[in-house]
Amino acid sequence: MGAQWATAHGYREIGRRIQAAIDLERFDPPRWEERADAARRRGIRLASLDELRGSRDAAAFEALLHEIYEVEAEAWEDVPIATPTAHWGFDAFRRLLLEQPGNAPDLDLVAFDGDTVAGFTSSFRSRGGWKGGTGFTGVRRAYRGQGIAFAVKVRALARAKASGVRWMLTTNDEPNKAMRAVNHALGYEPLPATVQLEKTL
Ligand SMILES: CC(C)(COP(=O)(O)OP(=O)(O)OC[C@H]1O[C@@H](n2cnc3c(N)ncnc32)[C@H](O)[C@@H]1OP(=O)(O)O)[C@@H](O)C(=O)NCCC(=O)NCCS
């Protein structure tokens, strides 16, 4: 109905963003242990942002944030979104990661190859902690296809579940096969898509 109205008024569909949810009551972390361990067997280790902050001085933590930001910048360019926007500046990234009420540094997982940040996933909590979601997941191009996104998401979901979160949400662009494959495998179920429309005025 809405789509018919939009088409009749000169709008055309340019993309779809699909929100998906996982019920952590049904998410069984041990089931994914072997597969999530593939990255570790390749030498990748994971640490959460709160652990990383607690284990280094302020200057080293800032340097780490800059590196995570660079990884995000590289991954941002590759998100197959119909309406690309410029990557935000470092200050906005830092504020969003550390200074929002819903920040969940225990669920922000960083993947390292030695001292190099290979990828990360960030999450948030809302509504009294029973619900949360993924902010962004990104892996450096050179490290893709090694199970790193899978590993950080499994760890984030396992930690979310252990801390009492029931539902985790995520939103992906319809053509994002790699991210949707990870989420689908883990048991995320799609909700109705947001249809992106465009009209030249
Ligand atoms: C999406 C992204 C995080 C995946 O990272 P990754 O570490 O390479 O992912 P993994 O290796 O854990 O797993 C990718 C899965 O998707 C599959 N996959 C990868 N590319 C695919 C493609 N083009 N078509 C179908 N499946 C694909 C892989 O086969 C793998 O599934 P499998 O384990 O069953 O084989 C990475 O590609 C990226 O940073 N992209 C840009 C940023 C982005 O889109 N982020 C998500 C939006 S928030």
- Using the structure block, give the residue that is written with the tokens 């939009």: 6
Reduced DSSP (H G I as helix, E B as strand, rest coil) percent helix, strand, coil of the chain, to 5: 40, 30, 30
Average pLDDT, the chain: 96
Q: Between 90-98 and 58-76, two packed helices, what is the crossing angle to 10 degrees?
A: 110
Q: Ligand 1 center to residue 139 CA distance, Å?
A: 9
Q: Is the pLDDT score of 1 beyond 70?
A: no
Instruction: Tell me what pLDDT residue 129 has.
Output: 87
Q: Is the pLDDT score of 3 beyond 90?
A: no
Q: Which domain holds residue 111?
A: 2-198
Instruction: Tell me what pLDDT residue 2 has.
Output: 83
Q: What is the pLDDT of residues 12-52, one digit of tens each?
A: 999 999 999 999 999 999 999 999 999 999 999 999 999 99
**Nearest Cα residue to atom 20 of ligand 1:** 178
- What does the pLDDT average to over 149-167? 98
The finding on whether 139 has its CB within 6 A of some atom of ligand 1 is yes
- What does the pLDDT average to over 44-62? 98
Q: Is the pLDDT score of 77 beyond 90?
A: yes
Atom of ligand 1 at shortest range from CA of 185:
34
Domain with 82 in it: what CATH number? 3.40.630.30
Residues forming a β-bridge with 131: 126, 167
Q: Ligand 1 center to residue 148 CA distance, Å?
A: 9
How many Cβ atoms are within 10 Å of 14's Cβ, its own excluded?
12
The finding on whether 177 has its CB within 6 A of some atom of ligand 1 is yes
C-alpha dihedral (159, 193, 72, 23), degrees to nearest 10: 0
Q: Is the pLDDT score of 127 beyond 80?
A: no
Q: Is the pLDDT score of 128 beyond 90?
A: no
Bigger pLDDT: 58 vs 129: 58
Atom of ligand 1 at shortest range from CA of 79:
44
Q: What is the pLDDT of residues 140-156, one digit of tens each?
A: 999 999 999 999 999 99
**Nearest Cα residue to atom 3 of ligand 1:** 138
Q: How far is the C-alpha of 25 from the C-alpha of 23, rounded, in Å? A: 5
Instruction: Count the domains in the chain.
Output: 1
Q: How far is the C-alpha of 193 from the C-alpha of 172, rounded, in Å? A: 10
